[in-house]
Amino acid sequence: MHELGIAESALKAAIVEMEKQKAIRILSLTLRIGELAAVDPQAMEFAFKTVTLGTPAEGATLEIDHVAPIAWCRDCSESFSTDSIAFFKCPRCGNYSGELKQGREIELARLELDS
């Protein structure tokens, strides 16, 4: 379950930002997670609740912004949606020369802090 590691990393980053802002508590945290990042939302919610116990983020809400996968064709420069992690057939030129541009990211997008 890599969700636990993701939750721990997000919490650490959130606490660093909280301390920079001289806030006292984290109220909510939003993660941008690509649909191809293999993150289970229920497992992520459980992991977040677990790692925040006894921290300034205990009781905070976790929101997840899902990022749709987008590939880009090296041959014709077309951007297109995909549900594959490895093979990208361009709908414009038909070639298999694409690369994934988004859809696997895991990022801390927003924090709501209590001062």
Label residue 98 by pLDDT band (50, 70, 90). confident
Place of tokens 């420069």: 77
Cβ contact 53:59 at 8 Å: no
Strand 79-81, strand 70-73: pairing: antiparallel
Binding-site sequence positions for Ni(2+): 2
Binding-site sequence positions: 2, 73, 76, 90, 93
Binding-site sequence positions for Zn(2+): 73, 76, 90, 93
What is the pTM for the complete model shown?
Answer: 0.86
Domain span at residue 103 reads 2-114
22-61 per-position pLDDT tens digit: 999 999 999 999 999 999 999 999 999 999 999 999 999 9
All residues at 6 or more sequence positions from 115 whose CB lies less than 8 Å from its CB, including other chains: 21, 22, 23, 24
User: How many domains, the chain?
Assistant: 1
User: Domain containing 102 — which CATH number?
Assistant: 3.30.2320.80
Token code pair at residue 48:
């977040």
